[in-house]
Chains A and B, each alone.
Chain A
Amino acid sequence: MRSLPRSVQVFLLALTVLLAFYPVFGEMLVGDRYDYWLQKLTSVMILAIMAVSLDLLVGVTGMVSIAHAAFFGLAGYTMVMVAPEWDAGSIWILLPAAVLAAALAALVMGVLIIRTHGIFFIMATIAFSQMIYYIFHDSDFAGGSDGTYLFGAPTVELFGRELLNLSDRVTLFYVTLVSLLLVYLLLRTMLRAPFGRVLFGIKENEERVRAMGYNPLYYKLVAFVIGGTLAGFAGVLSATQYQFIDPSQVNWHLSAEVLIMVILGGLGTLWGPILGAFAFEGLHYWFSSMTRYWELPMGVVVILMVLVLPKGIAGGVMWVADKLERRPSQKVQREETAAGRPMEVKHD
C-alpha cells in the first residue's frame, strides 16, 4: 500500500478535524438539530468502521463477503445476553465477550467456506449469515423479531472510579471517532507489513501466492476473522449507542448496504469506504426526506454507480489530487488507464 499524495493527506486530515470539532461548532451550524446530527454522525462513524473492515476482505483480499452484519449483530446480541438484566454491565466484561463471540463466529464460518471461490463464496456467506439472523429472529431468548433492550450503556470503571460515561452523547461521539481512527491506522499498518502484501497478492493471483510458498487459505482465514472481529467491535459501539438490538441489524441487507459503502467510497483504499459510509448515509437521509420510498432512488444510484463509477469517490479524489500535484508518475498512470481496465476472466 503506497503513501497517499500530500494533497489527499491534507484533505482527509481536514475532514477529520472538521468532524472532531462538530460538538464545538455544531450548535451554530444546525441549531436545534444539533443533538440529532451528533447521534447521526456517531452512527455513521460506526458504519464506517464496518465498511473499512469489510474493505479488508473485499477490496484487499478479493473475498466478497456478505456476512458482515451477522458479526455486527451477533456482538450486540452477545452484549445484551451477557449484561445483567436490570443493571448496566461493565465494559471490561461486555466488550471482550461480544468481540470474542464475533471472532469465534467468523472463525467457524471461515473454516467452512474459505476454500470456496467467487459466486459460491458469496452465496455461502449470505446463507450462513442468515442462519445467525434466523436464530435471533425465531428465538424467544432475545426478543424474537421485536428485538431487545440493553439496560444502560456499559460502564467504564477502573478501581471503582468512572473513567468514561458512555451514555453521554459527546463522549460516545469521541470514543467512536477515536475507534474509527485506530481501526483505520491498525489496518493501514497491517497492510504495509508483509502480511498485507500477501493479501493483496491473493486478490491478484491466488495460485502465484501459493507457488511462492504462502498458504493462501491461512491468510484468507486470518483476514476473514480480523474483518469479522472489527465488525463485532462496531456492533458493540452500536449497541452502546442505541441500547437496543433487533434482527434487522443482523440481516444481510445491512451487509449489502455496507458493501455499497465500500464500492461507493473506493475499493481497496481503506479511506475511501469511510467516505463511502458518509456518502451512502447522506444519500439515504436525503432520499428519505424526499420520499417514503427511498429504496427506489437508492437502487437507481447503486446501478448507476456500478455502470458508470467503478472507482468510487476515492478514484475521483485521487484524480483531482493528480491534477493538482502534477506528479511525475502521472504520465505512467495515464497510460495504464488508457490501456483500459484489464479484463478478468474467472471461471469457477
Chain B
Amino acid sequence: MDLSLFLIQTMNGVQYGLLLFLIASGLTLIFGIMHIINLAHGSLYMVGAYLAFWISSYTGNLFLSILLGLPIAIVLGIVIERFLIQRLYDRDHLDQVLLTFGLILIFDAMQSIIWGNDVHGVPIPDALRGGIMLTENLAYPTYRLFVSGVCLAIAVGMFLLIQKTRLGMIVRGGASNREMVSALGINIRWVYTLVFAAGAGLTAFAGMIAAPISSVYPGMGNSILIICFVVVVIGGLGSIKGAFLGALMVGLVYTWGTVLVPQFAGAAVYALMAAVLLWKPRGLFA
C-alpha cells in the first residue's frame, strides 16, 4: 500500500462522510427538535438527485438546476409537514414509521412514473472538471474537493445558525419545551415546518451535488437512508455533533473497507456501529 492511495482514499472517505453529514443532520434535527422519525428522508435525497438530472438535462448546468430544484424540494417538504407530519406530533413512533413508509412507497412509484427506472448520469460542471495536482504525478478530482468544501461550509453555517442566532435559539427552545416557546408568543407550528423544510432542503441538496459522483438510480434513497441511520445511531440521536463525527467515521470506514475488504465493505460499517453500541448503548453523544 503506497502513500498516494492512502491519501486519495482518505480524501474520498472524508468527502463521503461530509456528504452523509448533510443528510444525517437533517434526520437528526427533525428527530431532535420535532421527535419525529422520518423514513421518507432518503426519498427526498432521491428527489434531489432526480431533480438535478431532470433540470440539468434541459439547462445543461448543474448550478442552475440546484437553484431551480431546491425550492421545489423545500416546497415539497413544507407540504408533507403541513398535511401529514403535523398530524403525528401526538402519536407514537409506530404511526410515524408507518406513515413515512407509506410516503416511501408513493415516492418510489412517482419516481418510476415520472422518470422511469433507468440509471442516469449528471455531467460535472465544466468549471470543476479535471483534477488538482496533489504531488507531481497525483491528481485528485476537483469536483470532489468542491463537494467537500461546500458540505463543510454548510456544516459551519448550520452550527452558527443554531448556536448564535435568535432563530437558532427559538429552534433549540422548541426542542426542549414546545409549550413554553409557544406561550412566549412564537408560532411553534411554523418553527416545526421550517425545521422540516430545512431538513428536506439539506437532503435534497445533498442528492443534487452527489448526482455527478454517484449517478441517479431507483432505490438510491433507501440505501442512503440506512447508512444515515447508522450515522445517527453511532453519533447519538438528536446530536448534530454526533452526526458530524459519526458521518466522518462511517465515510472513512466505508471507503477504506472497499479497498481493504471489498467482500465486507457493506458490513464493515455495521460492525463499527455494533462496536459503538457495545461501548455506548445510546450512541457517542446522547
Contacts and interface: CB of A to CB of B under 8 A. Distances in A.
B63 interface: no
Interface stretch (A129-137, A218-226, A330-338): A129-137
Contacts of A293: 109, 112-113
B266 A260 contact: no
A230 B277 CA distance: 26
A20 to B, nearest CB: 32
Contact of B274 (A58, A112, A122, A126): A112
Interface of B: 31, 35, 37, 39, 84, 87, 90-95, 97-99, 101-106, 108-110, 112-113, 222, 226, 229-230, 232-233, 237, 263-267, 270-271, 273-274, 277-278, 281-283, 286
Given A299-B106, A302-B99, A124 B35 contact: no
Interface string A322-348: 000000000000000000000110111
A116 B99 contact: no
Interface stretch (A157-165, A184-192, A303-311): A303-311
A123 interface: yes
Contacts of A260: 98, 101
A138 B263 contact: yes
Interface size bracket, A side: 35 or more
A62 B97 CA distance: 14
Nearest to B276: A112
A343 B273 CA distance: 34
A17 interface: no
A89 B94 CA distance: 40
Given A123-B229, A293-B109, 12 more contacts: A115-B281, A119-B35, A119-B93, A122-B37, A124-B277, A126-B226, A260-B101, A299-B103, A300-B102, A305-B98, A306-B102, A348-B237
The 6 lowest CB-CB distance pairs between A and B, nearest first, are A134-B266, A299-B105, A302-B102, A131-B270, A299-B106, A296-B109
Interface of A: 58, 64, 66, 112-113, 115-116, 118-120, 122-124, 126-128, 130-131, 134-135, 137-140, 252-253, 256, 259-260, 263, 267, 292-296, 298-303, 305-307, 310, 343-344, 346-348
A120 B283 contact: yes
A302 B270 contact: no
Contacts of A303: 84, 99, 102-103, 106
A135 B103 CA distance: 27
Contacts of B281: 115-116
Given A112-B278, A134-B270, A58 B105 contact: no
B80 to A, nearest CB: 11
With most chain B CB atoms within 10 A of its CB, the pick from A64, A119, A139, A348 is: A119
A112 B281 CA distance: 8
B231 to A, nearest CB: 10
Which interface residue of A116, A118, A127 has the most chain B CB atoms within 10 A? A127
B97 A64 contact: yes
A113 B277 contact: yes
